[in-house]
Structure 1
């Protein structure tokens, strides 16, 4: 069962007026083909906010612990989320991500791996660069400019696709590519403060 369209509608009706959500750059988002969507992480509400503002269905990597919680364990798979074990190499999550990207789907991830405590962009983990190099997909940076306060403007910005051609041809490391992605996210944050 796919609850994504219903969830998107219900959350949109609450979140858009509550957080006065403004979306910029939707035209940058590819209409088809695999997309690795990399976003900064400032709040637990980031996944639903990206989910309702993105023009396509987003498959989110979510920490495995959430899939053990009573209600979430049945809801998360129905909103296209899949588990990842944090702090270790998770082969199942790697395979799922590559399969989705190569199958023309959108995978959303937070390269920092955890929420920012101070709202500043943290260091990205190598996983983002790995998937950017191996996923045969467009890489879209996204910035969420908060804070999440009732009736204060929340701004979601979708950047232009990052051209991965030279990085793939020159066999760049996952760490190098993650740095490139993080710089693009930071640039979006700086432009829209």
Structure 2
């Protein structure tokens, strides 16, 4: 058993009953092939909750600062996370993300780049659009709907995959691609509140 699988099963036992997590649409995550999983971001717990409700292992971009926290910094890479420098174009992180998608794995992103302080969906950054237009991945939108309060129900909803083949042929920009992804996330939030 890998560290990822072990951590996932332990966290699953704690989080699912604590937050009464309801997962909707897991069948929308393709069983194989590259997937770009894009979710809204309302809490520091989002990567954990998305990670335990997705049937496939997810590789998350995580802010570089996490890798500098004693103990946690040593653990995070074993949980399929890799660092990204926020607020600038991090070529190494972009290469790493594209590599994950080329290997037919799941790359998890929070396109807003930071947590929403209001719980409302914010503007997406171009990074999600970059991966959507530069890879062959199917894009799966995800919405975490809650508050993170003990024994309140928290929903994690996975939407149908968005095929970007036509968008790629039309050479849309990364910004345009991100807008499309954010609109899919917005629809999930509205439909499942």
Could you say which TM-score interval applies, normalised by the shorter chain?
Answer: over 0.9
1:32 Cα offset (Å): 0.4
Contact 1:35 1:138 in 2 (8 A): yes
Q: Which residue of 1 aligns with 2:57?
A: 57
Aligned counterparts of 1:73 and 1:14: Cα–Cα separation in 2: 22
1:145 counterpart = 2:145: yes
User: Are 1:78 and 2:94 matched, yes or no?
Assistant: no
- Unaligned residue ranges in structure 2 (runs of 5+): none
**2:167 corresponds to which residue?**
167
The aligned residue for residue 33 of structure 1 is: 33
Say yes or no: does 1:89 pair with 2:73: no
CA displacement 1:86-129 (0-9 Å, x = unmatched) = 00111110100000001111010100000000000000000100
Uncovered stretches (5+) of structure 1, i.e. residues with no partner: none
Number of the residue aligned with 1:15: 15
Deviations 1:26-46 (A, max 9, x none): 111100011100000000000
Deviation by residue 1:56-99 (Cα, 9 ceiling, x = unmatched): 00000000011011111111010110000000111110100000
Partner SS, residue 113 of structure 2: coil
Matches within 5 A, 1:121-140: 121-140=121-140
Large movers: runs of 4+ above 3 Å: none
* Alpha-carbon shift at residue 2 of structure 1 (Å): 3.6
> Which whole-Å CA distance do the structure 2 matches of 1:63 and 1:72 have between them?
13
Pair 1:155 & 2:125 matched:
no
Q: Give the superposed CA RMSD.
A: 0.9
* Cα distance in structure 1, aligned partners of 2:136 and 2:72: 31
TM-score (norm 1): 0.98
Give the Cα separation in 1 of the matches to 2:92 and 2:175.
21
Whole-Å separation in 2 of the counterparts to 1:73 and 1:135: 29
Q: TM-score, normalised by structure 2?
A: 0.98
Residue 165 of structure 1: how far off its partner (Å) = 1.3
Cα separation, 2, equivalents of 1:174 and 1:184: 16
